[in-house]
């Protein structure tokens, strides 16, 4: 298919672009590069621009005869969303609705949407299946859910067919080692742990040791970014053969605590990770683990990297080779971590 990937220069977007191309699809990326990296898109054409630019979208849809959209372009920092919800409603909802308008006007009927486990809020049961109540605890999750909720109505009225993918904790990097995770500021656990291993940070703050978990630190379900990417390809292909619109969780179904991640990273890197035990980070649920049986049963998705150590190994390969991310050592960002 001919596919437009919005936000395709970002972490999950760029890995998905790679998997789409491997599967034989023709891809054009639209990214305003506010967070994404031009270097992450070497195999597809990159158009710099905003997903709310109607004229640009119309031009792209016509020029590339686009048949489907995979929509990543969004703001995705929980803390920032609490401090500035207007930015999140604008970027994640208003701009997304413009994209839908132009898709419908141009007869584009297939959409794969990058959603999040943050739509669930504080879990009532673990593992979390798709029918778990969706009560987001922050504007990031709320805006992703608001967009998701529009989709069935657009389906009924305008024939839009969509799959929303709710990711748990994306981690790792393409095993080829040339694309990976590069956020500024970096707030995620695994890249921060590996920056400590590389001596780019003096220590890692462990946010909370008094959670009701076996070792007191938070438990998360880490899923390899290439497995996430592969699920987007399956979702798109399912829509193309007439499967119904739906929502799927994406996770490995096993939880690891922050301390377990640190120990696994010590093993993988062979280096000690200095930690500081800090207080809880506001808004962090004690444990998040995915129930991802639905996508396995319906689309035959199977994670290939379902072992934490392997996930960390691929991340380590990327970080060791690119300690300052896509930028060279001379242009390293002033902030490494928060
Ligand atoms: N975490 C931590 N120290 C850090 C960053 C994260 O202890 O410097 C913890 C965080 O509290 C959470 C887990 O690691 O329990 C994963 O956090 P991350 O930000 O990677 O993903 P999130 O679960 O927020 O999507």
**Segment 54-99, tens digit of pLDDT:** 999 999 999 999 999 999 999 999 999 999 999 999 999 999 999 9
Q: Of 318, 301, 296, 293, which Cα lies nearest the Cα of 229?
A: 301
Q: Which residues contact 198 (CB under 8 A, 6 or more apart)?
A: 319, 320, 323
**What are the catalytic residues?**
140
Q: For residue 169, report the distance from its CA to the centre of ligand 1, in Å.
A: 9
Pocket test for ligand 1, best of 115, 207, 278, 282 (most atoms within 8 A of CB): 207
Q: For residue 298, report the distance from its CA to the centre of ligand 1, in Å.
A: 31
Q: 3-class SS at 214?
A: coil
How confident is the prediction along the chain (338 residues), in pLDDT tens digits per residue?
Answer: 999 999 999 999 999 999 999 999 999 999 999 999 999 999 999 999 999 999 999 999 999 999 999 999 999 999 999 999 999 999 999 999 999 999 999 999 999 999 999 999 999 999 999 999 999 999 999 999 999 999 999 999 999 999 999 999 999 999 999 999 999 999 999 999 999 999 999 999 999 999 999 999 999 999 999 999 999 999 999 999 999 999 999 999 999 999 999 999 999 999 999 999 999 998 889 999 999 999 999 999 999 998 999 999 999 999 999 999 998 654 555 444 33
307 C-beta closer than 6 A to ligand 1? no
Which residue stretches of 23-168 are H helix? Answer: 54-63, 78-83, 85-88, 95-105, 139-158
Nearest residue CA, atom 16 of ligand 1? 189
Q: For residue 88, report the distance from its CA to the centre of ligand 1, in Å.
A: 20
CA distance 318 to 226: 13
Structure pTM?
0.96
The full set of domains in the chain, from first to last, is 2-171+221-250 (3.40.50.720), 189-220+253-321 (3.90.25.10)
Residue 283 has which token pair?
């808004």
pLDDT of residue 335: 47
Nearest residue CA, atom 15 of ligand 1? 218
Cα 85 to chain centroid distance, Å, stands at 19
Residue in this structure with the two tokens 């977007």, named with its chain if needed:
13
């Amino acid at each position: 298919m001919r596919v437009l990937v919005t936000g395709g220069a970002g972490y999950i977007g760029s890995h998905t672009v790679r998997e789409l191309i491997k599967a034989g699809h023709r891809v054009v990326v639209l990214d305003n590069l506010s967070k994404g990296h031009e270097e992450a898109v070497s195999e597809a054409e990159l158009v710099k621009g905003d997903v709310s630019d109607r004229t640009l979208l119309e031009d792209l849809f016509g020029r590339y005869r686009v048949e489907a959209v995979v929509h990543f372009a969004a703001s995705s920092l929980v803390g920032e969303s609490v401090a500035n919800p207007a930015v999140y409603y604008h970027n994640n909802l208003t701009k997304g609705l413009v994209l839908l308008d132009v898709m419908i006007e141009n007869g584009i009927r297939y959409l794969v949407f990058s959603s999040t486990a943050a739509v669930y809020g504080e879990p009532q049961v673990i593992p979390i299946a798709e029918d778990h109540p969706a009560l987001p605890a922050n504007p990031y999750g709320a805006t992703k859910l608001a967009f998701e909720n529009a989709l069935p109505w657009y389906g009924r009225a305008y024939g839009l067919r969509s799959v929303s993918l709710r990711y748990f904790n994306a981690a790792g990097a393409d095993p080829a080692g040339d694309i990976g995770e590069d956020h500024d500021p970096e707030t995620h656990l695994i890249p921060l742990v590996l920056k400590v291993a590389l001596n780019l940070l003096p220590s890692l703050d462990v946010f909370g040791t008094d959670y009701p978990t076996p070792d007191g630190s938070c438990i998360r379900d880490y899923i390899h970014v290439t497995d996430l990417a592969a699920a987007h390809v399956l979702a798109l292909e399912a829509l193309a053969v007439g499967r119904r619109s739906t929502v799927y969780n994406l996770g490995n179904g096993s939880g690891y605590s922050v301390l377990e991640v640190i120990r696994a990273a010590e093993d993988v890197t062979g280096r000690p990770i200095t930690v500081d035990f800090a207080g809880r980070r506001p808004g962090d649920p004690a444990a998040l683990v995915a129930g991802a049986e639905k996508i396995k049963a319906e689309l035959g998705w199977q994670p290939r990297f379902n072992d934490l150590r392997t996930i960390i190994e691929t991340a380590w390969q990327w970080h060791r080779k690119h300690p300052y991310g896509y930028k060279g050592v001379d242009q390293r960002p002033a902030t490494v971590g928060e």
